Structures are given as structure tokens and as C-alpha cells.
Amino acid sequence: MTILEAVASRTRVVIVGGGVLGTMHAVAARRRGFEVVQLEREAEARGASVRNFGLIWVSGRKAGPELSLALRARELWEELGTEVPGLGFRAAGSLTLAAGDAELALLKEASARPDAERRGFELLDPAAVREVNPALRGEFAGGLLCRADAIVEPRQVLPALRGHLGRDRYTWLPGREVTEITPNAVRDHTGAWHRCDLVIVCPGAAHTGVAGRYLARGDLRRVRLQMMQTAPLAERITTALADGDSLRYYPAYDLPGRAQLPPQAAAAGRARAQLLLVQRADGGLTIGDTHEYAEPFAFDVDEDAYDHLRARAEALLGAPIPRVQRRWAGVYSELDASGPVAGHALYHRAEVEPGVVLVTGPGGRGMTCSPAIAEETFQ
Ligand SMILES: Cc1cc2nc3c(=O)[nH]c(=O)nc-3n(C[C@H](O)[C@H](O)[C@H](O)COP(=O)(O)OP(=O)(O)OC[C@H]3O[C@@H](n4cnc5c(N)ncnc54)[C@H](O)[C@@H]3O)c2cc1C
């Protein structure tokens, strides 16, 4: 055993939060030989990490550090996908579909950018789109294939990763809410102390509670999204899908052609909606999303937004979607890049006490970037 290995084997890390950020930190810590104890306040994590599309989304990322972080994460997901089949990792790619000439022109602009090759972009006419994804029998002017995009199964990822970590120097403690944090220990709501050398706090969108006093600077905000899932569709949808509304939100498309886009449909504009559609391993379709920024958030879901998203999905598929079986809303934590302290950071990481590191705020790219964010924490 080397000296470094001996030190690592004596290092104990406590992770607060059982979402994908906490769990990827557990994976990264175990890779370095550290002992890990992970606490989650719920009986099973039920926040953004299980409510998302499972999109490992490279296509929409801003050129530069954001794209590099997503591409590194994509590599790590693929490696993990080989080791842990339960993640359901599929290098399926995506198609972003243009409804008309202005959206098509913007896709063309994106496909001509110097980083198009890194993203695996290729502009396709409608016939070529249907060759890649024969289920698309509806109306569209063309599409942008992104070969780098991938899919995982969000309802399976966390238990699959914990199963992979096993019980060798990894302890999963669900149903334990951390109520106190000190440099070398945390205390949970039962009063039990968990001593360690390093605390990593990944509280997700819980901006109050134990992490609240460290997050009072005002550069984090919360965003609420509406989602739905259908019964299985027998036909395979070979890629993830996005409609032209996504060009209005993703920073990769913040190009001159964006100014030429017509206004969104009224219902989409009100809900700040874009269509994203992913077929689950069992054939069901996960469909979303909307964006609500002002708190207090609605406690109920808005059917107008669902009507719009259903109509968009059916227009692209050229067929009715199966019955919707589930609807839900989810909230993520996002670093507000226009805030006073954020600068160019892609997420929030701070050493809030000696040996206590708080990581949150990856926004709508948190599932994608989580393995690379965890890697950066330990670098
Ligand atoms: C509807 C929706 C769709 C999305 N789609 C995508 C997508 O397709 N691709 C993508 O890249 N990103 C997507 N995102 C974003 C992504 O899901 C999030 O950025 C990511 O899951 C955040 O992970 P997290 O671990 O920080 O947070 P969370 O998943 O919220 O986990 C935080 C955990 O910490 C626990 N916790 C909090 N406080 C304590 C405490 N005191 N003690 C113990 N436990 C505590 C919570 O119970 C929770 O389980 C989506 C988000 C939403 C809401």
C-alpha cells in the first residue's frame, strides 16, 4: 500500500443528500479509496434527480466551459453505464426538430459552428430525419441530430449506483435529516453524530434548513417544471426529441438567428414550455417541460401546459400518444448567472466551513453534469 493509499483508506467522507449530486460524490469518493457515509432525509431520494428526463444533454450547452463540462460528464456516464447496466445508459442521440424556416435556419447556424463536431451535430432534411427516427411521421421542416446526447433511467439511477457501491466502506442512511453541520461531523434528526474528515453537502433545492445559512447570498434560485409520462408505446423512438421551442431556452442556440424566431404559441409562452420527449426503457414516453421562476410556486399542475405539450408531441409523431399515466412537478436549484457573485460559474460550490463543501445549483443540467461536478470537487 502506498502512503497515499494509506491516507485515503483512513479518510472518512460524510455526504448529506441522496440525489444524483450526492450519489456521484459518493462514487467519486469511493474511487479515491475514501470511506463514505451518505445521509438522505427521505426514505428514498424523491427530488429533481428522480423527476427528470434522464437526458444527458450535450446539444443545448453553451460553447466553452459548459460544453466541456457536459462532454466530460458524458464520458463518465458512458463508463459508468458499462459498469452499471442498471443505469439504463443509451447513446441514443437526439433530434431537435424545426417547425419552419426560421427554426431551421437557426439549426443550420448551430450545425456550422466550430464546436458542432464535438457535439456530433448534423443537419438533416425531413426524409433523413425519418431514416434516423422512423416514428416521426408528423410535420417538420428538418432536424438537428446530436450524436453526443444520451439517455439514462432516472428512476433507476440512484439505487443502481448505490448497489454498485455495495457495502464495502459505503453506508447508505436513508430517513436521516441532517440538522447540524460542524467541520468534522454532522448530526442527524435522531441526535446521532457522524464523524468524518470531510463533509460534502448536496441539498438540491432545499435552500433553507441546514444549508440555508450558507446560501443566503441570493445568487441561487429555484425553478419548477411540469412533466408527464404515458403508457408504453409499442414502437421504438430511437432518439430523444426536442421541438423548436427548445431553441429559445438553450444557450447553444443563443446565435444571431434566434432573433428571427417567431413568437412562441401563446400557451407555450405562458408556461415557458418546450417539448422534450424521451422514451423510457419500458416504452413509456416522458414528456415535458415548463418553467416557473417566481415563488411561491403553484401547488397544483396546469392542464393548459399539458394540452400544449401533448399536441406538440402528436404533431411530430403524426399519431396520438398513449394515455398519460402520471403527472408531476419537480424543482431544481439553479445558480442565477446574473446574480451578484455567480460570475461565470456553472454551479455553486463553496467550502462553507473548514472541510465542509456545499455543492448545488447545477440547474437543468444537473443530471447531465453530476459525474463531472463530483470529479471537480475532488480535484
Ligand atoms: C422536472 C425536471 C427535469 C429535469 N431534466 C433534466 C434532464 O433531463 N437532464 C439534466 O441534466 N438535468 C435535468 N434536470 C435537473 C436535474 O434533475 C437536477 O439538477 C439534479 O437532479 C440535482 O441533483 P441534486 O442531487 O442536487 O438534487 P436533488 O435530487 O433534489 O437531491 C437533493 C437531496 O438532498 C436531500 N436533502 C436535502 N436536505 C437534506 C438534509 N438536511 N439532510 C438529508 N438529506 C437532505 C433531499 O431530500 C434530496 O433527496 C431536471 C430537473 C427537473 C426538476
77-109 pLDDT, tens digit per residue, is: 999 999 999 999 999 999 999 999 999 999 999
Q: What is the pLDDT, as a whole number, of residue 7? A: 77
Q: What is the pLDDT, as a whole number, of residue 167? A: 87
Of 5-19, 23-37, 53-67, 201-215, the range with the lowest mean pLDDT is 5-19
User: What is the C-alpha to C-alpha distance for residues 274 and 268, in angstroms, rounded to an integer?
Assistant: 7
- What φ, ψ does residue 338 adopt, rounded to 5°? -85, 0
Instruction: Determine whether the shortest distance from the Cβ of 364 to ligand 1 is under 6 A.
Output: yes
Instruction: List, as own/partner pairs, every contact residues 263-266 make where C-beta atoms lie below 8 angstroms and the sequence separation is at least 24, other chains included.
Output: 265/308
User: What is the C-alpha to C-alpha distance for residues 188 and 17, in angstroms, rounded to an integer?
Assistant: 12
Q: What is the pLDDT, as a whole number, of residue 188? A: 98
- pTM here is 0.97
% the chain with pLDDT above 90: 93
**Grid coordinates standing for 42?**
427521505
Q: What is the pLDDT, as a whole number, of residue 236? A: 97
State which of 16, 49, 249 you would mutate to test the pocket of ligand 1, scoring each by most atoms of that ligand within 8 A of its C-beta: 49
Distance from Cα 227 to the centre of ligand 1, integer Å: 15
Q: Name the residue with the closest Cα to ligand 1, atom 34.
A: 17
Give the mean pLDDT of the chain.
96
CA nearest neighbour of 201 among 46, 357, 334: 357
For residue 11, give every residue at least 6 positions away whose Cβ sits within 8 Å of its Cβ, in sequence order, or none: 33, 34, 35, 197, 198
* Terminal Cα-to-Cα distance of the chain (whole angstroms): 22
For residue 83, give every residue at least 6 positions away whose Cβ sits within 8 Å of its Cβ, in sequence order, or none: 164
DSSP secondary structure code for residue 362 in this structure:
B
**Grid coordinates standing for 354?**
473548514
CA–chain centroid gap for 186, Å, is: 27
- What φ, ψ does residue 26 adopt, rounded to 5°? -65, -45
CA dihedral for 22, 24, 25, 31, sign (positive or negative)? positive
User: What is the C-alpha to C-alpha distance for residues 331 and 224, in angstroms, rounded to an integer?
Assistant: 4
